[in-house]
Amino acid sequence: MSEPILPAVPAQAPPLNSRFWPWLMRSLLRLSGWRLLGQLPDVPKLILIGAPHSSYWDGVWGLIMKIGLGININIMIKREVLDGPLGIILRPIGMIPINRSAALNVVGQMVKRFEEHERMWLGITPEGTRKHVKHWKSGFLRIAHEANVPIQTLFIDYPSKTFTLGPVVHASDDPDADMSTIRALFRPYRGRHRNTE
């Protein structure tokens, strides 16, 4: 029997209201050879962080996997994109608008959103860019701490064509220590163009 391409979906995960799109994305994954390994936690609220993020393809495979799972994992995107014609396609698959004007705090927007929803999963790339960076953005830690939401690690590895679910971690009162601990978990894995230092 072949190894599953996606793990079981936990009962408390927020559902994506579609049957066709998950079926189509699972079919694409079978053809591509990509798999999502590990076990998803059965929790109603979660921040999922994926790295190393070095290519547009990370987002493509991640989007295919999230739709294939049939889970509504929210991804932050500029409000202007969703206000246009693309919004008709992107909103139903979990893209959520973010107002990046200086007057508004993105962390605060996400904390408020967690407070307003009984079930919400949020996907974030902590590097914040595909380029090599020495320091990850700390926004995901601040959101997790203020909203009291666990963080699921997700390791991207192109040599093995896998995304792997790692340990679930919880933000403490020491963000610098948390960041060092979390980044170390990602070092064995290699993205399309680089690994995590």
pLDDT in tens, 100-133: 664 458 899 899 999 999 999 999 888 766 677 7
Predicted confidence (pLDDT) at residue 49 exceeds the cutoff of 80: yes
| Cα angle 95-97-102, degrees, rounded to a multiple of 5 | 145
Residue 42 CB coordination number (10 Å):
12
Look up residue 65 and give its DSSP letter: H
- The Cα 173–Cα 137 span in angstroms is 17
Give the tens place of pLDDT for each residue, 173-191.
999 999 999 999 999 998 8
For residues 108 and 9, give the distance between their C-alpha atoms in angstroms, rounded to a whole number: 29
Give the model's pLDDT for residue 103: 47
Ordered alpha helix ranges (H), the chain: 20-32, 56-69, 79-83, 87-90, 106-116, 139-147, 175-186
Partners of 76 in beta bridges: 96
Q: According to the model, what pLDDT value does residue 53 have?
A: 83
**The pLDDT value given to residue 56:** 84
Mapped onto helix, strand or coil, the DSSP state of residue 188 is coil
- What are the structural domains, with CATH classification, of the chain? 33-186 (3.40.50)
Number of Cβ within 10 Å of residue 103's Cβ equals: 5
- Average per-residue pLDDT for the chain: 87
Dihedral sign of CA atoms 173, 98, 127, 168 in order = positive
Residue with tokens 């190894």: 3
From 91, 82, 67, select the one nearest 6 (Cα to Cα).
Answer: 67
Query: What integer pLDDT is reported at residue 129 of this predicted model?
Result: 65
Instruction: Measure the N-to-C terminal CA separation of the chain; round to a whole number of Å.
Output: 37
How large a percentage of the chain has pLDDT more than 90?
A: 58
Report pLDDT for 1.
Answer: 45
Indicate the Cα dihedral angle 186, 51, 35, 192, nearest 10°.
-100
Residue 44 contacts residue 149 (beta carbons within 8 Å): no
